[in-house]
Structure 1
Amino acid sequence: MRRPAHSTAPGLSVQRDGARRVTRALPEEVPVAMVFDGTTQAVMMASPTDLEDFATGFALTEGFIETADQIAELEIAHHAKGIEARFWLNRAQGQVLAARRRSMAGPVGCGLCGIDSIDQAIRPLPRLRSNLRLHRDQVAQASDTLRHWQPLHDRTRAVHAAGALGPDGRITCAREDVGRHNALDKLIGALVRGGQDPAQSAFVITSRVSVEMVQKTVMAGCPVLIAVSAPTALAVSLAEEAGLTLAAFARGGGFDLYAHPQRIETGATDVA
């Protein structure tokens, strides 16, 4: 039972000049259970599209696997009330996961619910090393460039997007979802499954930068994160520690740089 990305619903639009009946396109969201070797490790509310990408990206960024080849099999099972992403891991990784047995639950927009210790929430991250360089104009225009890759947003005005920006300033891949974390996981999964190295791109997101967005970007090996909105203070601190270049408020032809600005060629006012 495949589900559409959106459906329509009637409503009453009340404006200053009166009221009128309207029919709006609304994004669908469903519970997606991440099941590893028969055990449910997470349930996320997500858009029911690009589910193999979502599952793969989630497994990578949340540390259930280290590489995609540790997945022996991945099956998407549709049920009346939700969807299961069923993983079967190779023997070695299955044993690692069995020893770990991390449990979490994720309502829409939440990437931390269910983690049972602060140490797990602020987990250590690898240090990024990358030769990727971008020009200031590419960063300033990144959000506008991503807009051309958001068909579900154009219909519903209610979903987030994440895109991979290459060194030539072009978006090579993008994914959408009702959850900003999910959109980023879908993008990462799509890149990995398509044989693209996230280290050769910048990630562009249509949301604020929270700790989880930094964590997922770093875990994927991407060296630059560009966001249309603001970062949290802790996200900036984490990006600095992990070697991640963080650009925020990327809209209207400009942006702010908060960590490792050396990857962005800013012109006469360059700071290293």
Structure 2
Amino acid sequence: MTTAIQCFNDFQFLQCYLSWSLEIICLICLGFAICLIFRKQCKNVCSNSTRIIILIILSLIFYFVFNLTRTHRTIYFLQELFYQVYQAFLIYYFGKKLVQGPSKRQNLKIIQTIFVTLIILDITTFIISIIEAASQKQMCKQISFTVFRSISLITQILFLVIVEKLYKRFLLNLQNLLKNEQQTKRQKSHFFQLKILCYISFFGSLVLLIVNFIYMLSSDCRIIPHFGNGEYNFSDELNSLVHTTIKLFTYFIPIILTLVLFTTKSQKQDQNNTVFEVEDLTNQQYFQGLAFYK
């Protein structure tokens, strides 16, 4: 896809509009994420939610820099790496909500093992990608990309399973919660957003893996082959449209939903300034029978 800088002089073409649109979405998400970091709720750098937002910011920065210059493949792989680590952190973040009861230590070890394994796989694949990029001209033909997409798909499956279990536990404990209609609506809205994030991320990872195989089988790294005669080829526009749609569903929409998720959880719940805090859900349900989100 033609970069925004290259398209500046030929802005009449569809791929140039789409390229600029993605850059604008990237900058909006980046600005929104930075605003969250400087809010009171995100000043604690040690909190997992803040780390997730920082990973999103780094991924967006590398995405923007790579699309402005297209000079070094390492920037692209860094974007992929930070995005994959962000997904692994989501599993760790919500997986900890399932840790409770007599087998708490064992459950926590399982979640930590999954998290560490995903991080090791991501870093290993990143190193392989850099080595492979140095010896191969066409990025779309690299086997490491297929590994990246496969790890991402496995990550989303784990994420989906964990959130489904968390949601079932929330429904089972709903009768023990405070009978506050507004609070219950916010809690259900939060889980609805979370499930949307899970299913979109899973669908996006599956589509991206399929597209990756198409790229590898293609002779010229195109989803839609060239057709027609003449200098202007409509297949270029179609490829640009498909690429933009894939990028939206596999990258930007999950990031946007995550930012919305962490914004929602920080909203005030009642007149006493009780805050919607998802990190306290499991402990409050188990020890107090409450579910106040800060």
TM-score, structure 1 length as denominator?
A: 0.25
TM-score, structure 2 length as denominator?
A: 0.23
**Higher strand proportion:** 1
Highest CA radius of gyration, 1 or 2? 2
**Higher helix proportion:** 2
